[in-house]
Amino acid sequence: MAMAVEDNDGRSLSEWIAEASAFLNEAVKPLKETQTLSTSQIRSLVPSSYTARHTDSDLHTITLYALRLLSNIQVASKATPVPSPGAMTLGMRDLTILYKLFDFLIIYCLYPCLTIGVGVSLRKRLNHAFGGKQHAPAIEKGEGKPDILEAILTGILNLQKEGGDVGTLIGVRSKYMLDVLAGCGELAFNPAVSETEKAQWTAKFNEMLESLDAQALITMLTSLLHTQCPTWFRTVLAEKLSMVSVRPRGDGVQSVVSFVLGLRTGEDVSLEKVTRAAKLICAIPKTMSGDDYYGIVCPQLLGMLDLPGDKTPMPRVSAQIIAQLNSTVPEVARRYIIQPVHQPLLAPASEESLRKSISRLTVLVVNPDFVLTEKLIRPVLLPLWGLLLYAYKTNRSTWQEQAQSLILVHVKTTGGAKAIVRLLQNITYVSGPTWEFGPGSEGGINIRPATIQREVGMDEIDGRVEAALDLLKGVETVEGLMSEVLLALLRLWLSAGEESGSSDPVAMVATLRLLQETLDRFGESALKKPRQIIELVKGVLDEFVEKIKASRRQSSPATAAPGLAGLGSIVQGQDSDDEDEDKEGDGQEGDSDTVGLAISLLTAILGESEDLSAEEVRLLGTTKSSLDFISRNYPNPLLAAPALNLKTLIAARTSVSDDVESTLTTEKTSVEKYAEGLQLLQDPLVPVRAHGMQILRDLVDVADPVVDVNAVLSMFTNLVRDEDSFIYLNAIKGLSALTYRYGIEITRHLLQAYAESSEKWTVDARLRVGEALLRTIQGLGAALVGDAATDIARVLLDVSARRKEIVEDVRLRASALSILGMAVETNATGMGQWCARAIEGALAILQLERNEDAVTVRRASVVLIAGVLKGIAAVAEFPAEHLKDMQRIITYVEATDSDELVRVQARGVLNILHDMISGEFRLEESASVLRI
């Protein structure tokens, strides 16, 4: 039905405003007046000159009159001259009356035409419009007809389309958008509306949604999607909400995450919120295939990785969502995330693309999902190595640091010594088969096409060795790693010597330099795990003895293997004497230097490694025969004497029993893990520190006796105060593991921290401890009894009640109430008397703390009461007077609280009570709620 626009009779804007003001002053009554006007009484306020021409129903008539006023104010406003372009014709008083008129049209005319549950609650809408200073209209929702609703919506949409001052004030960005959207939804999806009408209004409903940005869209859809919403509308809203992530504008995922995390309202980022956001984003809408959905969502997740991490948590949240994708749908993660991130490192790419790839990898490896880290770094390890070497050569320190950081994360988490050795074996790596690194357009680095692979010259060896040594500094403290690197370099050189005809001379020289510098700079850490060094040295000694024996048999000098002779020159740091090369027996002389190094290595191991395992001591014992032969048969005392001394030292160490061996071997495994975890916690790289936390948590989970519980508790307690969300979220998991494994004493420590109000323990840090307590309670389950229940209840009740002597932050009080509610819901029987105490405290808050600042605490109080009711086995467990008080107070809160969410929650509590009492006392279905 089209809106009937009356001729404005030539009246001015001020005259129409005056008529609207006179009508509204009588139609909308203030609270101090007890009489609420009925629809027929409101119609009587409409000028008789208008009603005489309209014989429609009362609601129809006042609707058309309100639309007539708005339309004529619009016409008069557009006809009124303005002093300057862009100026408004409406003054402040005019705007107040105009808004009041529009609120009247929405509340008194539109809402009565909606099905119950469509739109927001009438009470909330009234408070929003008049600040709670007017009576609710006497008419009820659902009395109207579709033709009246259509007239209202058509009139509003026409006013918006015509523009002008009035159209702008009620446009799609105005506070009335939600009401108009609800009305369009009524006509578009209500089964009672004809299919022809539905098609028209469905188009308008969708058009309105498309005009909104994602954040506004989510806000509106969630406002309409409440418990009272009818099923036919709820289904539509839920479907629209699930499609926000794939909006063509490309801002859907970020908006969903921002909404769930509460970033617009300044809420803390919690592990629970991040998990919930990940689940929402990973849920595929029913109307889409997985490929189509992820093909739209994943590029948005990649885009979120590019946002500045110092200003928003979005990059790390995106990384956690990607980790969830990799865990649940690894093929999707590979195709839509990992491959696009890798692409700029595997083919020609601009400087910007390469920079973005490195940045995205840096954010992604912060996540503790080491399976994902392996997938991200291992396939591009050599290109990253090439990038590091090129950056070092061209003095691009930032690029070198970024590439080195990524390599170190891989080495310290999953790659280990194998990854380092792989890089050192490729010390001459330059580029891929069809590309090479080059200078970027903005002073950085790009990847450009290349048809011929460039070879590394001798003049580049020093720089590449120094770059490799810089990398080795980053892993020097990793237990056992430098030993494996040293062994690998030794084997690499020896094998190169044996195959000297086919070896790359540049690579051989570079390996020599690496071996020499590794021994010089990292010798102490390289000897910490001696078993393999002993094996290698034994081979050198045995080979030397065989050469001596063969030489005697053949009565001619033995020919030295290039590997042994070269190794001797490495250690001595000297070149072979030209004269020696011309002498017979020069091979044995060169080999003697190598054997001297071998003996020195074994002597150093015996001197520095007092805790050799029995296996290592037995392995040492196998060298005694070769040492004995050398000491008795080699003519040079500079070699024979050290061989004899070493044989004696080894003989003294071979008395370790098999029982001791077993004990040491078993204990050392746990000790090494524990030491590694503690060591990694000191690393500056966040992913490495997280790996250390994971190692300690694994030891805690199995109650390993090597764990110093107090020390680990202190570390996790300190880490929970870290400002990095990635660190403190992992610390929360560590504290939860400690409480689960070591019981009440750990829980008491957390409770003490949670209750401590000081500079040491900020509100944010205490809230994080509260999250650990919440996980502890959920893990205890039926074991939440006795001292544990008492200690938890006392502290939580104390914190929740702090508003006088100690003024506690409302967020912390709300946290305490929420945790207490979970405790009771988890095991009401175990909580015993504290259930009633919890109810008393919550009811006191609802009665005494009515101001706006206490909204959060009131919400948590209602949730606590609901948790108690869900947790108890039967309503009869509560004294009758408690039930009566609860019924009275909650009913009052549901009717009067200024916060809509508190009222909705209170209504839910009343429903729970009703169901429980009906089941306990067999009340009739028609009985009043809680008529005890």
**pLDDT tens digits for range 714-756:** 888 888 888 887 788 888 888 888 888 888 888 888 888 888 8
**pLDDT at position 628:** 86
Q: Are 97 and 27 in contact (CB under 8 A)?
A: no
- Please determine, for residue 20, whether its predicted confidence score (pLDDT) is greater than 90: yes
| Residue 818 and residue 775 in contact, taking contact as beta carbons nearer than 8 Å | no
Give residue-wise pLDDT tens across range 345-384. 999 999 999 999 999 999 999 887 888 999 999 999 999 9
Among all chains, which residue has been given the structure tokens 């690579």? 507
Residue 900: count of CB within 10 angstroms of its CB: 17
Contacts of residue 123, Cβ cutoff 8 Å, sequence gap at least 6 = 136, 900, 903
Q: How many CA atoms lie within 13 A of 107 on its CB side?
A: 24
Q: For residue 426, what is the DSSP state?
A: T
Residue 668 scores a pLDDT above 80: no
Based on the domain organization, do 699 and 815 belong to the same domain? no
Look at 12-21, 216-225, 511-520 and tell me which has the smallest mean pLDDT. 511-520
Say if 190 falls within a structural domain. Answer: yes
pLDDT at 287: 87
Same domain? For 715 and 847 the reply is no
CB neighbours (10 Å) of residue 410?
25
- The answer to whether residue 236 is domain-embedded is no
Task: Tell me the average pLDDT across 513-539.
Answer: 78
Nearest Cα neighbor of 729 from 333, 256, 273, 276 is 273
CATH number at residue 820: 1.25.10
Confidence of residue 496 (pLDDT cuts 50, 70, 90): low
Check whether 130 has a pLDDT greater than 80.
Answer: no
AA letter at 302:
L
| 619 part of a folded domain | no
The average pLDDT across 891-903 equals: 86
CB atoms within 10 A of CB 279: 13
Distance CA(336)–CA(301), nearest Å, equals 10
* pLDDT at residue 318 is higher than 60: yes
Q: Which of 38-42, 190-194, 583-587 has the lowest mean pLDDT?
A: 583-587
pLDDT band at residue 644 under the 50/70/90 scheme:
confident
| Per-residue pLDDT at 880 | 62
Alpha helix segments (H runs only) across 432-530: 461-473, 481-498, 505-526
Residues 700 and 773 in one domain: no
- Cα(309)–Cα(296) distance, integer angstroms: 23
Highest-scoring range by mean pLDDT, 414-428, 729-743, 891-905:
414-428
Residue 755: closest CA among 781, 788, 791: 791
Do 17 and 78 lie in a common domain?
yes
Residue 657 pLDDT grade (very low, low, confident, very high; cuts 50, 70, 90): very low
**For position 932, what pLDDT does the model report?**
26
Residues 5 and 125 in one domain: yes
- At residue 138, the pLDDT reads 56
pLDDT average, residue stretch 764-777:
88
524-531 mean pLDDT:
75
Confirm whether 271 is domain-assigned.
no
Q: What is the pLDDT of residue 588?
A: 53
- How many alpha carbons lie under 13 Å from residue 736 in its C-beta half-sphere? 19
Q: Is the pLDDT of residue 659 over 70?
A: no
pLDDT, position 391: 96
**554-580 per-position pLDDT tens digit:** 654 433 344 444 444 433 443 434 443
- Lowest model confidence (mean pLDDT) among 292-296, 627-631, 654-658: 654-658
Task: Using the Cα atoms of residue 137, residue 139, residue 140 and residue 142 in order, give the sign of their dihedral.
Answer: negative
Mean pLDDT along residues 769-783: 85
Same domain, yes or no, for 868 and 806? Answer: yes
pLDDT in the model for residue 125: 75
- The pLDDT confidence band at residue 60, using thresholds 50, 70 and 90, is confident
pLDDT, position 190: 94
Could you tell me the two tokens for 203?
A: 């188009």
The reply to whether 81 and 183 lie within a common domain is yes
Contact 38, 56 (CB under 8 A): no
Position with higher pLDDT, 481 vs 614: 481
pLDDT bucket at 806, cuts 50 / 70 / 90: low
Predicted confidence (pLDDT) at residue 926 exceeds the cutoff of 70:
no
- 13 in any annotated domain: yes
Amino acid 393: pLDDT: 95
Strand partners, 435: 449
Same domain, yes or no, for 150 and 88?
yes
Q: Which of 180, 211, 242 represents a domain boundary (last residue)?
A: 211
Does the residue 247 lie in any domain? no
Q: Specify if 695 maps to a domain.
A: yes
Query: Is residue 22's pLDDT more than 50?
Result: yes
Alpha carbon of 691 to those of 410, 686, 704: distances in Å?
11, 9, 18
What is the percent of the chain with per-residue pLDDT over 70, rounded to a whole number? 83
- Give the mean pLDDT of 578-586: 39
Residue 881 pLDDT exceeds 50? yes
Dihedral angle computed from the Cα positions of residues 362, 337, 382 and 438, in that order, rounded to the nearest 10 degrees = -80
Query: How far are the Cα atoms of 35, 358, 386, 389, 474 from residue 400, in angstroms, in the given order?
Result: 79, 11, 10, 8, 13
What average pLDDT does range 247-268 have in this prediction? 82
Residues 674 and 804 in one domain: no
pLDDT at 587 over 60: no
Note the pLDDT of residue 307.
Answer: 93
pLDDT at 520: 76
In whole numbers, what is the pLDDT of the chain averaged over residues? 81
- The domain boundary residue, chosen from 211, 231, 259: 211
Task: Looking at the structure, tell me whether residues 723 and 757 fall in a common domain.
Answer: no
pLDDT of residue 899: 83
- Count structural domains, the chain: 3
Q: Are residues 883 and 922 in the same domain?
A: yes
Percent of the chain with pLDDT over 90: 26
Evaluate if residue 418 carries a pLDDT over 80.
yes
Q: What value, to the nearest 5°, has the Cα angle with vertex 573 and ends 569 and 574?
A: 65
Position with higher pLDDT, 107 vs 873: 107
Last residue of a domain, one of 181, 211, 241: 211
What's the pLDDT band for 131 if we cut at 50, 70, 90?
low
- For residues 694 and 764, membership in a common domain is answered with no
Q: How confident is the model at residue 436 (pLDDT cuts 50, 70, 90)?
A: very high
Position 652 confidence tier, pLDDT thresholds 50, 70, 90 = low
Question: Does the pLDDT value for residue 54 go beyond 70?
Answer: no
27 assigned to some structural domain: yes
Give the residue numbers spanning the domain of 876: 743-930
Per the CB < 8 A criterion, the answer to whether 664 and 613 are in contact is yes
